[in-house]
Amino acid sequence: MRIGVRGKIFLVSVFLVLTVVAASGFYLERELRDWTQVRIETELLNHARMVRVMVERGGTVDPVVVDAIADEVADPSAGRVTVIDGEGRVVGDSTFALEALGGLDSHSDRPEVVEAHAGGDGIARRFSFSLGMDMLYIALPFKTGDTVGVVRVARPLAEVEAAVERLRLALMIAGLIGLVGAVVMSAFASHFLSRTLRLLVQDARLMAEGGQMRPLSIASQDEIGGLAGSINRLADELESTVATLASERSRFEAVLESMDEAVIALDRDQELTMVNRAAVALLSLSVGRGGSTLRERIRIPALHDLVDRALAGEAERDEFELPEPTPRRIMAYASPLRNASGAVVVMHDVTEIRRLETIRRDFVANVSHELRTPVSIIRANAETLLDGALERKDIAHRFLEAVLRNADRLAALVGDLLEISRIEAGTYNLDCDAVNVSPIVARICDSVETLAKDKEIRVIDEVAPGTVVWADPAALEMVLLNLVDNAVKYTQQGGAIVVASRIIDDSTVRIEVRDNGPGIAHKHRMRIFERFYRVDPGRSREVGGTGLGLAIVKHLVEAMDGSVGVDPVEPRGSAFWLALPTSS
């Protein structure tokens, strides 16, 4: 038998109403049940926190006091408040009288109590044999004196079931109304709905297939017209939602791309789903090359282990070395995603931090070592003088000279420390100007002439007359004096020292202090400008000095926008150099 449009509309209407009612009922029942339980959990958690505060303020687990608190705070929640001490005994309960507490079972094995002792919060849904109903329990730990107990707040789940029953009734009524409406609609609207619906379907199909987003024509003000209007509003809201999501995604991507920290996201199969710009640079990733998984793209075993633990549900932190070409120290934090299966890894480059920590430790150790020797000598000589050597003028003078010499050494060390601290703090006043280097080098050569003659060392001035750099005159003289003085101290008898200059380009002049001394091994050149770093500690202390001279040189030159370094000289010797700008 052929079914006409009216019959089809009737059958479809009945089927749609039944389907919608059933699906909506199932979905709404589940959502209402979950929402009600979450709301109750939130209320109970807040209530439990309040109870914990009151119990802790009470300062005791005396059943008389605690049970009164439980009775007092239970009234607003229409639930049950229980206070359990560290042994699992109930010392307060809003449902049972004080005299009945002793007859209650130990609560130490209750799931929510065990969770509260273990992790801080305990949540459980179970049947209460003492109350004879399903209950929702929230437990929190508290500490009063030496007692660590648990406060527990409970509420019956009956209101959830009541709301679900009301929803079922409402859905049944709505289903009956829908069925009646389907019959009436099929009886009165079948003769004109086919044409109107066909036009409406055609326009809606064009809209759904991504055609022009033109509004649907509203031919009447009845339900069909209302449907067309609803589709038009839905299309507008959908377009607005898509635009908002696109804007949020763009903003999110902009934030990720602007972060200095490297961020990568992975799914459960360890396929890279997101990598920001900092991660590409840090891990030297090539876009479009290699595999799609973490192990294929990034061959760092420590990172793989960290991600494995995160995918197992544990937020982990680890520190590891990045391999060549540029070894770096990386601090990584991996966390599992809550709403999806996967993990996010955030990585920080802590290479510079670790280097500074090493320098700090070395600095403290070196300062302690440098101070200990002169202080020990001064103390030993002072004790010797006090023990009677002061009366013997033939040796008292020698001991006092040793005290003075080491006091001068301490003063020089403290002075250099203050000087380098001022430079690093930016409080060292530099007044840079165009400075002629030649007169400064001449004065320095004259000042070291006596020491050089004693060691039969020639100091040769090869600075071109008229060589001009942009620098602070006093700071430049201190730098060059340190370099020349060091060269004289460490050059052997009969050696030679050359102070020279040359123009590197139109904006930079290089000044060198070359010697033909023992030279500096390659492994020491990178650290020679660190504070207290000595190539030969014994030799360095023999010739004097605080170990801070080259560090002061480096900081002063860099403060004048220059650079400093040391190169080997063939066949032997070293060339300390500084490069300074020729103008501001």
Q: Is pLDDT at 117 greater than 60 in this prediction? A: yes
Give the containing element (helix H, strand E) for 567: strand 563-568
Q: What value does the CA radius of gyration of the chain take, rounded to a whole number of Å?
A: 42
Contacts of 322-329 with C-beta under 8 Å, sequence gap 24+, read 322/282, 322/283, 325/284, 328/282, 329/354
Given CATH 3.30.450.20, say whether it is the number of domain 9-161.
Answer: yes
Distance CA 153, CA 112 (A): 10
SS (H, E, C) 98-134: HHHHHHCCCCCCCHHHHHHHHHCCEEEEEEECCCCEE
Backbone CA torsion sign across 19, 20, 25, 30: positive
Distance CA 248, CA 117 (A): 41
Give domain 259-348's CATH architecture: 2-Layer Sandwich (3.30)
Distance CA 47, CA 45 (A): 5
- Alpha-carbon distances, residue 353 vs 280, 310, 358, 365, 551 (angstroms): 21, 26, 9, 18, 20
Q: How many beta carbons lie within 10 A of that of residue 130, not counting itself?
A: 14
302 residue type, one letter: A
Q: What is the mean pLDDT of the chain?
A: 77
Q: Given this model, what pLDDT does residue 20 score?
A: 72
Q: Given this model, what pLDDT does residue 99 score?
A: 84
Please give the angle made by the CA atoms of 209, 213 and 219, to the nearest 5 degrees.
100
Q: How many beta carbons lie within 10 A of that of residue 577, not counting itself?
A: 20
Rounded to an integer, the average pLDDT of 3-15 is 63
293-298-304-307 Cα dihedral, nearest 10 degrees: -60
Q: Is pLDDT at 543 greater than 50 in this prediction? A: no
- In 3D, which of 529, 490, 533, 541 has the Cα closest to residue 372? 541
Contact between 517 and 490 under an 8 Å Cβ cutoff? The reply is yes
- In 3D, which of 88, 130, 129, 82 has the Cα closest to residue 108? 88
Taking only the tens place, the pLDDT of each residue in 54-109 is: 888 888 888 888 888 888 887 555 578 888 888 888 888 888 888 888 888 888 88
Distance CA 95, CA 109 (A): 20
Q: Given this model, what pLDDT does residue 485 score?
A: 87
296 residue type, one letter: E
Q: Given this model, what pLDDT does residue 576 score?
A: 92
* Superfamily, domain 433-581: Histidine kinase-like ATPase, C-terminal domain (3.30.565.10)
Taking only the tens place, the pLDDT of each residue in 234-254 is: 777 777 777 787 777 777 777
- In 3D, which of 526, 516, 435, 507 has the Cα closest to residue 478? 435
CATH topology of domain 354-425: Helix Hairpins (1.10.287)
447 residue type, one letter: S
Distance CA 517, CA 494 (A): 10
Q: Cα(first)–Cα(last) distance of the chain, in Å? A: 100
Domain boundaries, the chain: 9-161, 214-257, 259-348, 354-425, 433-581
Q: Which two three-digit tokens encode residue 350?
A: 């802590």
Backbone CA torsion sign across 485, 487, 492, 494: negative
Most confidently modeled range among 371-375, 487-491, 546-550:
487-491
Q: Is pLDDT at 539 greater than 50 in this prediction? A: no
pLDDT more than 70, % of the chain: 76
The two domains 9-161 and 259-348 share their CATH topology (first three levels equal): yes
Q: Given this model, what pLDDT does residue 423 score?
A: 67
